[in-house]
Amino acid sequence: MRRLAWIALCPLFVLGCDGGEQLDPLAGPKPPVDAGPLPPADAGLDAEPPPPVDAGLPRRTIEQRNPFGDVAETENLLWDGDFEWTSPFADQYGWLSGPPLGYAFSGVRIGAECHSGIKCAAVKKKGILAAIGVSALSSKLDASVWAHVIKGGCDGVKATIISLEQGGDPSAPVAADLPAPPANGWCHYHSIVAARAQKPYFLINNQTGDEIIVDDAVLKKAPPTMGLSVKYHPPTAPDAAAIAQARVEITALRGPHDAPPSEAQRALEAWRGRK
């Protein structure tokens, strides 16, 4: 009982109970501690503020990304223009990669290096991509894509809207806005192309000196008032050869036939083989 009473009274004698400073009632007041010189008086509104202090380079930056990609483009005619649904475990494919062009696609990148969303595609030097799209009859098309270039100019990435039939819809280049990438390395390609009667493919050919990152490809109907920004002209011999080869490889992939086993299927077969 005495112990309980002592504990209850402890809050009334905080200094004595916690073993802290012992007060001497006979001691006089302690001299004040010197706090240093007083700050200068306010000089008024006309005083100049002190110069800003350089905080140096930021240690980290924070970005907000939508896991569904560029949701503002609700009319994109490409199956998966920003790679958000592209996966080695998928049964359907929005992109073909090569060379040679095929369903196997292992170049998906995840993270802040992408232009939008959380997924994008790495294309090795001399690599190619082909996005699968649908046509909009009697409507001009607004085509655009972003590519992060490490080495060389923006013109090292050849972006073209093609069709599979030779002599059908003419190939339409998607031109770079600038000849050289800006400080962030992202080149933007944009063109208004004529209406197409056949299924379009968005072909991207990396002719730079290093790997590139591709993201946010869009193919949509253009307003009727917008004029064509591309004059059809014969492509160079290397570009024409690349387009012709892409046509052959894409045509060979057309069904009906089974796609090659996905990464998940290969992993399952390897696991079964070890049992």
What is the reported pLDDT for 23?
A: 55
Asked if the structure places residue 43 within a domain, the reply is: no
Task: Please report how many Cα atoms fall inside a 13 Å half-sphere around the Cα of residue 22, on the Cβ side.
Answer: 3
pLDDT of amino acid 4: 44
Q: Say if 11 falls within a structural domain.
A: no
**Domain that includes residue 120, residue range:** 95-253
Measured distance CA(230)–CA(191) in Å, rounded = 6
More confident residue, 89 or 12: 89
Considering only CA atoms, which of 180, 115, 185 is closest in space to residue 150? Answer: 185
Question: What confidence tens digit (pLDDT) does each residue in 115-138 have?
Answer: 988 899 999 999 999 999 988 888
Single-letter residue type at 254: R
* pLDDT tens digit sequence for 145-176: 999 999 999 999 999 999 998 778 889 999 99
Most confident of 60-74, 76-90, 120-134: 120-134
**Which is nearest to 200 in space by CA: 135, 142, 130, 249?**
135
Q: What is the secondary structure of 222-270 as a DSSP string?
A: PPTTPPP-----PPPHHHHHHHHHHHHHHHHH-SSSPPPP-HHHHHHHH
Q: Is residue 273 part of a domain?
A: no
Taking residues 66-83, report their average pLDDT: 79
Q: For the residues 20-24, what does the mean pLDDT come to?
A: 54
Would residue 61 count as lying in a domain? no
Return d(Cα 30, Cα 33) in angstroms, integer.
9
In a domain? residue 144: yes
Residue 129's DSSP bridge partners are 97, 204
Residue 254 vs residues 13, 37, 93, 132, 251: alpha-carbon distances, Å: 88, 85, 12, 12, 5
In a domain, 68, yes or no: no
Domain CATH code at residue 184: 2.60.120
Work out the pLDDT band at 88, boundaries 50, 70, 90: low
pLDDT of residue 33 exceeding 60: yes
Hey, which residues does 220 pair with through a beta bridge? 142
Question: 3-17, 103-117, 204-218: lowest mean pLDDT where?
Answer: 3-17
Q: Mean pLDDT score of the chain, rounded to an integer?
A: 81
- Full strand arrangement of the beta sheet holding 212-221: 108-110, 119-123, 212-221, 141-149, 186-193
Q: What mean pLDDT comes out for the span 243-261?
A: 83
Tell me whether residue 16 is in a domain.
no
> Is the Cβ–Cβ distance between 129 and 102 less than 8 Å?
no
Q: What is the mean pLDDT of residues 46-74?
A: 73
Our measurement of the distance from residue 233's CA atom to the centroid of its chain's CA atoms, rounded to an integer in Å, reads 32
Overall domain count for the chain: 1
pLDDT of residue 38 exceeding 80 = no
In eight-state DSSP terms, residue 78 is: B
The reply to whether 2 falls in a domain is no
